[in-house]
Structure 1
Amino acid sequence: MKFVALLFIFLNASAAAQDFQKVDAILTMYPDSFENPEKLSRFITRDFVSEEEKVRAIYTWIIQNVAYDPDEYKKFDYKFSNYRERNEKDEKLRANIIQRTIQTGRAVCEGYAMLFEKLCELQGIKNYLVRGDIKSNFSDIGRPFKRIHMWNVASIDGKPYLFDSTWGAGKYNEKFIKDPTYFYYKTPPELFIKTHYPDMPEDALLEETITKEQFAALPLIIEKNLSPTDIELPSKGLLFEDEYFDEILFAIKNVNPEKISYSYGTEKIPINDIERGADRIKFNVPLLIGAKILLIYFDGKPALGYKIN
């Protein structure tokens, strides 16, 4: 399952309200590899008591010590002649992926997610793997659903939360760029759905689920605190030239950047006429005929991306 670096995304580490300084400090003294997950689990059992601290320790060790490496795809190809043999090999494959991830510190998304799952299991923490799709580049806007990524749902004190230690570890752009973040630790479902759509919609943990087609139609929502419901206009990521005269109207809730600019793939152009309301902003972007992409910036940072037909 391919891990694609988020286009232009700049995410600062954001932790839950709980103070995790003690957990993070202890984790800096752990080895950067282990012979097996059981040995790492024993460290965690020794040092932490609450489920919250244990899950934080699991996530932190993984994002600090595992690098994304697409060559890992080649390590575990296998063939089978019947479903029984497939199931046996699947279980063996899972164990081998976990073992290789914790020993070598290299993995693709399966390694990250399966190691997270195994460590939670060893701590008696209810969790499961989630397969699904991602939205990280302009080419993802409007395409059919694909099962190309894996992440986790884990319960802390009886409540389920979303985790993606693959994306939490850093970015991949021809090489792995280590950039640990806690944005993908207990990510609010309304923000996680911007970039992740599960094979089973209930695993999105949303009160009101959206369909695969609705997810595909979303623009790239890069501003970390924006949810899909905040984007009133244009709410879909694919813009058609013949639907506009000479300008594209934007209406966005719950943000109020000091500066807004746009780019059709070249220079950034500032927008001076911004209507600011109590809970939303409105502005227009001149339509450029023949352009293929449109990027909106808030205070100089990419915030929204659209494809144009």
Structure 2
Amino acid sequence: PSLTGLDNKGFQENGKSRVPLPGGKDLHAYPWDKSSLKSITLDLQQFEKLDAYASKVSVKNSIEELVKALLRGARTDVEKVRAIWMWICHHIEYDVVGFHNKHQRSCEPKDVLRTGKSVCSGYARLFQQMCSVAGIQCMELSGHSKGYSYRPG
């Protein structure tokens, strides 16, 4: 069976599959020509520079200061998202203990930044807050995944 936005409750808000913005704009609208992803211009050398820089940024005083430092070399929204994603990949680890013990975990972005670890929701919330500070529209979608004990069949 094929999946559409209506099949996935995570893409719905108030029973509608799209979230309208003021002025009739669509929150999920592509900012590029969606007929071809080749219409997105990517500078891979710039990505290399951003990746190297983002992996070394160590500001952890606040999310605002981190984002300000992280985005010094980012010019486009795609580059900003890339820098944020790369920083999270290098500086946040999965909280296995917190996964097994709900009382020992926090998914609040400031706590994830402070401790350097979280479960899925903490990664998503930190990414969302960092994007918000960077002026990039982002929303967290919750859902389900096959866990570590999943057995096919």
Q: TM-score range by the shorter chain?
A: 0.5 to 0.7
Asked if residue 112 in structure 1 is aligned to residue 138 in structure 2, the reply is no
The equivalent of 1:64 in structure 2 is 90
- Residue type at the aligned position of 2:141: V
3-state SS of paired residue (1:132) = coil
Q: 2:136 aligns with which of 108, 112, 125?
A: 125
Q: Single out whichever of 65-74 and 101-110 deviates more from structure 2.
A: 65-74
Contact 2:55 2:91 in 1 (8 A): no
Question: 2 CA distance for matches of 1:46 and 1:129?
Answer: 25
Counterpart for residue 34 of structure 1: 60
What amino acid sits opposite 2:67 in the alignment? S
> How far off is 1:69 after superposition?
1.0
* Alignment deviations for residues 43-81 of structure 1 (CA, whole Å, 9 cap, x no partner): 1342212101110000000011111113333236xxxxx
For the 8 Å contact 1:67–1:107, the answer to whether it is kept is yes
The Cα shift of 1:137 comes to 6.0
2:71 and 2:83 in contact (8 A); partners too = no
Displacement of 1:39 in angstroms is 1.1
* Alignment-derived partner of residue 197 in structure 1: none
Distance 1:140 1:130, change over 3 A: farther
Match of 2:114, as an amino acid?
A: Q
The alpha-carbon distance between structure 1 residues 45 and 136, as it changes in their structure 2 partners (threshold 3 A), is same
Matches within 5 A, 1:157-196: none
Unaligned runs of 5+ in 2: 1-40
Alignment counterpart, residue 81 of structure 2, candidates 31, 35, 55: 55
CA–CA distance in structure 2, aligned partners of residues 117 and 106 of structure 1: 16
Matched positions, count: 108
Change (3 A) 1:17 1:38: closer
Question: Runs in 1 of length 4+ with deviation above 2 angstroms?
Answer: 44-47, 70-73, 135-141
More helix by share: 2
Distance (Å, rounded) in 2 between the aligned partners of 1:36 and 1:59:
17
User: Given that residues 35 and 99 in structure 1 are in contact (C-alpha distance below 8 angstroms), is that contact kept between their aligned partners in structure 2?
Assistant: no
Query: SS of the residue aligned with 1:135?
Result: coil
Question: Scaled by the length of structure 2, what TM-score is found?
Answer: 0.61
* Partner of residue 112 from structure 2, selected from 71, 76, 101: 101
CA contact (8 A) 1:66 1:101 kept: yes
- Is 1:25 aligned with 2:52? yes
Q: Kindly provide the amino acid, as one letter, of the partner of residue 41 in structure 1.
A: V
Deviations 1:83-111 (A, max 9, x none): xxxxxxxxxx76xx211111110111111
Structure with the bigger percentage of strand: 1
3-state SS of 1:125 partner: coil
- Equivalent position of 2:104 in the other structure: 75
CA distance in 1, matches of 2:118, 2:146: 21
Secondary structure of 2:68's aligned partner: helix
| Gap runs ≥5 in structure 1 | 1-15, 77-92, 142-306
2-structure distance, mates of 1:132, 1:140: 19
Identity of aligned residues (%): 29
